[in-house]
Every structure is written in structure tokens, then in C-alpha cells.
Amino acid sequence: AQSVTQLGSHVSVSEGALVLLRCNYSSSVPPYLFWYVQYPNQGLQLLLKYTSAATLVKGINGFEAEFKKSETSFHLTKPSAHMSDAAEYFCAVSANTNAGKSTFGDGTTLTVKP
């Protein structure tokens, strides 16, 4: 069984500030981990993925995440927030190379203040 916990349903940062969105996972097998972003009235778009290669993963729009097995975490960061980053972010876990059945966290809404 797998599960994902996203700490903080709402995060607010100022433009230019560090973005940190937290994700902890539980998986009985080596996990594949993903971060997705959803803008209003749209589907989800992949930001980045961890697939047991490098533990520091770089994604689109300046986001990156670090896989820490000892902490079962996969937190998403961005050094400097931009207004266009305001959206809902989802962490997801999949048990194998087939992501068809992914388990998603509850999501974190990111607000960026001018």
C-alpha cells in the first residue's frame, strides 16, 4: 500500500521568496515520486519525477525536489517565487514503472503575494 501526505494545504509566500512544499510518502516497495501542478480549470501537469536515479531532481519552471529515503520525503522547492507559480501542487507516488495507478496527496495551494 502507498500513501502521500502533503503538509500544509495552503502556503503563502512573497514574490521572490523561497518556495517549500512538503511531501512525505509511504510505500512498501521502492517508490516512483512525482510533483504535478494544476492551474484553475485545467488538468494536472508534471513538474518533475523521481525514478531512482539522482536524488536531486530538477523540473520545469525552476522547481526541484530532493528524495530523502531516510526521511521518506520528497519536498518541492524553488529559490525565488514568481506570481505565475500560484497554483495547486500535488505530490504523487507510484509503485512501479506504471504510473497508471498513482496515489495523490491532498494538494497544497500556493499563493504568491506581490
Minimum distance of other proteins from residue 78's CB (angstroms): 19
Contact status: 101 vs other proteins (CB under 8 A): yes
Q: Is 49 in the site for other proteins (CB under 8 A)?
A: yes
Rounded to whole angstroms, the Cα distance separating 107 from 87 reads: 10
Q: Which is nearer to other proteins, 70 or 97 (CB)?
A: 97
∠ at Cα 86 (106, 105), nearest 5°?
A: 10
The 3-state DSSP class for residue 84 equals: helix
Q: What is the Cα–Cα distance from 37 to 45, expressed in whole angstroms?
A: 5
> Shortest distance, CB of residue 53 to other proteins, whole angstroms?
9
Q: Rounded CA gap, 97 and 77, in Å? A: 24
Question: With b meaning 16 or more CB within 10 Å and e meaning fewer, what string describes 4-20?
Answer: bebeeeebebeeeeebe
Q: Among 10, 16, 18, 106, which residue sits at the site for other proteins (rule: CB under 8 A)? A: 106
Stretch that binds other proteins, among 16-24, 62-70, 74-82, 98-106 (CB under 8 A): 98-106
Q: Which of residues 3-32 bind other proteins (CB under 8 A)?
A: 32
Out of 7, 17, 86, 99, name the contact with other proteins by CB under 8 A.
99
Q: What is the DSSP letter of 61?
A: G
Residues in touch with other proteins (CB under 8 A):
32, 34, 36, 41-46, 49, 51, 90, 92, 94, 96-107
